Chains A and B, each alone.
Chain A
Amino acid sequence: MRGLRGSRAAGTTRVVRGSRFRPGALVRALLVLLYLGFLLLPLYWVAVTSIKPQEDLLADPPVWWPREPTGLHYSTALNAFRGWTGLENSLLIASATTVLAVVIGTAAAYSMARYGTGGKHLAFWFLSQRIMPPIAIIIPVFLLYARYTNEWIGVSLVDTHLGLILLYTVFAMPFTVWMMFTYFRQMPVELEEAALVDGCTRVQALRKVAWPLAAPGIVSAAAFAFILSWTEFIFALVLTRTQAVTLPVVLSGIITNFQGNQYGEASALTMVSLIPALAIGILIQRHLVRGLTLGAVRG
């Protein structure tokens, strides 16, 4: 914003007289700092609540730093409040979803980008899945999982890992397909053509040329699929009971039961759940924009 920045901006010059300091910069710094405060305050509060001893939790005025920090809430949350179960399930379900969604999605995207399969219609059909509200799917899926899969194929999918993995894969599909679709379309086709001329089959051209070349795109698509299933809530809430509960479900159980005064445990488990998501989020920062807009805007 060259235009907004100059000290020549009319009417703002009087703020700082005679110095090299730019008033525009001051406004910007102020904005950034205020936003930073808004961002970090709730985060800090959760972090500090997770290490407060019980008597500090309800103190008035609020305790901003406990005199005796404790790690007790972490062990209670993980052991007594099924935190480990949630963590294991979340990791398993998110990982399996990631693999499935990336393999299936990349394959479809490749076919669409290189062979024009299904034309524009198929691509937009995948995109339209993004509009679908989860609440519209979850009632019939619940009925099918609870009643009919048992009659038809002999397995009830309620409260199973498989049930959630399948559903999450479907909901990650618009992301992986579109991210990879736009990625393949930007990728030069000549290398694959050369491989074919050199005697590769199409499968080999895909496996040995296209797939490795698309690796950076695949990594960011995978990260999106992981985060999508790591943070998903409503499907897991409806479809799990005890066996396949994910971390958000375990957490919501503690949060909505605050009468029991388990603020420390809830905060501790929240902190635990942030770690993998943040690690992955920071890794894919450069691909963020592409993923958020399904490839419509390049970062």
Chain B
Amino acid sequence: MSVLTETLRERRVRPVSLWVDRHLRWLLVSPAVLIIVLLTIFPLVFSLWVVFVQFDFSVSNEHPWVGLDNFRTVWEDPVWVHSLWVTGVIATIAVLVELGLGFALALAMLRPFRGRRVLMVLFVIPLFISPVIVGGFFDLFLRRPFGPANWLLGGLLGHPVSIDFTIDGLWPWASLVLADAWQWTPFMFVILLAGLSAIPDELYEATEIDGARPRQSFFFVTLPLLTPIVLVAVTFRFIDATKLFDIIYSLTRGGPGTSTYTSSYYLYQQGFQFFHLGQGTAGAWMFTIILTFVSFWLVRRMLRPVEG
């Protein structure tokens, strides 16, 4: 890179382009920095004011200072605390399901066979569909009585069933995890498949010569070599899974009652259904801080082996 710096000396160029050339590195990077500062950093700073005043469209246009009241109101709302648990639990279960399924699938798809290319194209389709539409898919599929889910389940079990998948018992949770897994298992699958294919064949040959059983070579070659990539995939996926909103919006709508409110869904309701913008912002700050801590913990803990 230092080679680039001194080459322009003693060349006659117009002053403007000379100036452009000298400051090129900053000119190139500034639009990106500027737009992020304008649309995320500035709004965040602005929202630091919003959390300390009364900002409620339904009340008035005055914004009296209320100190920490917004935080207190949100924190004392049992639905909010519950939503934090819901977010954590659904994200964890979904990521584990996707990891297991994606890993099994990657193992199954590793060796070439006829039709593999077509399957590869089919398998990644869900990644390109809007999550709110995926929620809609499952709503259509699971909805009682005319969605085929009850009918298929009845056929499998041999007696008619009538489950409301968005209301009964633990079914809403299962439906959400199912829809999320439908969409994001391919994410785990393609990343793990890339990781598996990158393990050189020679390693397996060597362990075979050393007399290792297949199971041994799986535990002592495949898993250790794959771990860093599994951690990258899990980190990215978990961070995204905690933002779950779209599928909730189109599948359970937070129901029954408020039992499947995720944090994002709760904050949306506070902010844009009730227009409690001060409280919504206070909650958003809590959520962001929690998420930042979890993310940094995950990134530091999980990405360390990758760098090492």
Q: Which residues of A contact B (CB under 8 A)?
A: 1-6, 8-10, 27-29, 31-32, 35-36, 38-43, 45-46, 49, 57-62, 64, 104-105, 107-108, 110-112, 114-118, 122, 126, 129-144, 166-167, 169-170, 173, 177, 189, 192-193, 196-197, 199, 201-203, 206, 227, 230-234, 237-238, 247-248, 251-252, 255-256, 258, 263, 266-267, 270, 273-274, 277-278, 280-282, 285, 288-289, 292-294, 296-299
B39 — which chain A residues lie within 8 A by C-beta? 137, 141, 166-167, 170
- A190 closest partner in B (C-beta): B3
B137 close to A270 (CB less than 8 A): yes
Decide if B95 is an interface residue (CB 8 Å cutoff): no
Decide if B33 is an interface residue (CB 8 Å cutoff): yes
6 A-B pairs, CB-CB below 8 angstroms? A3-B222, A60-B145, A129-B36, A131-B239, A206-B24, A255-B132
B104 — which chain A residues lie within 8 A by C-beta? 31
A140 close to B232 (CB less than 8 A): no
Closest chain B CB from A224 CB (angstroms): 10
Decide if B176 is an interface residue (CB 8 Å cutoff): no
A4 close to B295 (CB less than 8 A): no
Partner among B13, B43, B214 whose Cβ is within 8 Å of the Cβ of A140: B43
Q: How many Å lie between the Cα of A177 and that of B190 in the bound state?
A: 22
Q: How many Å lie between the Cα of A112 and that of B187 in the bound state?
A: 28
A9 close to B130 (CB less than 8 A): no
B136 close to A4 (CB less than 8 A): no
Partner among B1, B26, B35 whose Cβ is within 8 Å of the Cβ of A189: B1
B46 — which chain A residues lie within 8 A by C-beta? 140, 143-144
Q: How many Å lie between the Cα of A105 and that of B29 in the bound state?
A: 8
B148 close to A4 (CB less than 8 A): no
A1 close to B111 (CB less than 8 A): yes
A114 close to B140 (CB less than 8 A): no
With A3-B221, A133-B243, A141-B43 already in contact, 18 other A-B pairs whose C-beta atoms are closer than 8 Å: A3-B222, A45-B141, A62-B151, A64-B148, A108-B33, A111-B29, A115-B25, A116-B1, A118-B29, A132-B288, A140-B50, A143-B55, A196-B3, A231-B133, A296-B232, A297-B191, A298-B194, A299-B194
Sort chain B's interface into a size bin.
Answer: 35 or more
> Knowing A115-B1, A288-B124 touch, does A252 contact B249 (C-beta < 8 A)?
yes
B32 close to A173 (CB less than 8 A): yes
A35 close to B105 (CB less than 8 A): yes
B35 close to A166 (CB less than 8 A): yes
A-B interface, 5 closest residue pairs, ranked by CB to CB distance from nearest: A108-B32, A140-B43, A3-B214, A231-B130, A281-B128
A169 close to B284 (CB less than 8 A): no
Closest chain A CB from B6 CB (angstroms): 10
- A56 closest partner in B (C-beta): B146
Which residues of chain B from 250 to 302 have any CB-CB distance to chain A below 8 Å in the complex?
250, 253, 263-264, 267-268, 271-272, 277, 280-281, 284-285, 287-288, 291-292, 295
> Knowing A3-B217, A111-B29, A289-B194 touch, does A203 contact B239 (C-beta < 8 A)?
no
Q: How many Å lie between the Cα of A289 and that of B124 in the bound state?
A: 11
> Knowing A2-B201, A4-B107 touch, does A36 contact B122 (C-beta < 8 A)?
yes
A114 — which chain B residues lie within 8 A by C-beta? 1, 4, 25
> Knowing A117-B25, A196-B7, A258-B139 touch, does A28 contact B108 (C-beta < 8 A)?
yes
Decide if B147 is an interface residue (CB 8 Å cutoff): yes
Decide if B66 is an interface residue (CB 8 Å cutoff): no
> Knowing A61-B151, A296-B232 touch, does A203 contact B20 (C-beta < 8 A)?
yes
A281 close to B32 (CB less than 8 A): no
- B3 closest partner in A (C-beta): A193
Which residues of chain B from 115 to 161 have any CB-CB distance to chain A below 8 Å in the complex?
119-133, 135-141, 143, 145-148, 151
Decide if B196 is an interface residue (CB 8 Å cutoff): yes
Closest chain A CB from B98 CB (angstroms): 12
Q: How many Å lie between the Cα of A247 and that of B126 in the bound state?
A: 17
Closest chain A CB from B227 CB (angstroms): 13
Closest chain B CB from A187 CB (angstroms): 13
A122 close to B190 (CB less than 8 A): no
B194 close to A278 (CB less than 8 A): no
B250 — which chain A residues lie within 8 A by C-beta? 252, 255-256
B264 — which chain A residues lie within 8 A by C-beta? 133-135, 234
Q: How many Å lie between the Cα of A159 and that of B230 in the bound state?
A: 41
Decide if B242 is an interface residue (CB 8 Å cutoff): yes
A255 close to B128 (CB less than 8 A): no
B107 close to A140 (CB less than 8 A): no
A27 — which chain B residues lie within 8 A by C-beta? 108
B29 — which chain A residues lie within 8 A by C-beta? 107-108, 111-112, 117-118, 122
Closest chain B CB from A270 CB (angstroms): 5
Decide if B75 is an interface residue (CB 8 Å cutoff): no
A108 — which chain B residues lie within 8 A by C-beta? 28-29, 31-33
B229 close to A297 (CB less than 8 A): yes
B42 — which chain A residues lie within 8 A by C-beta? 144
A36 — which chain B residues lie within 8 A by C-beta? 119, 122
Q: How many Å lie between the Cα of A294 and that of B239 in the bound state?
A: 14
- B272 closest partner in A (C-beta): A238
B133 close to A251 (CB less than 8 A): yes
B164 — which chain A residues lie within 8 A by C-beta? none
Q: How many Å lie between the Cα of A135 and that of B288 in the bound state?
A: 9
B136 close to A255 (CB less than 8 A): yes
A133 close to B287 (CB less than 8 A): yes
Q: How many Å lie between the Cα of A267 and that of B143 in the bound state?
A: 14
Partner among B26, B110, B125, B218 whose Cβ is within 8 Å of the Cβ of A43: B125
Q: How many Å lie between the Cα of A139 and that of B279 in the bound state?
A: 11
B122 close to A39 (CB less than 8 A): yes
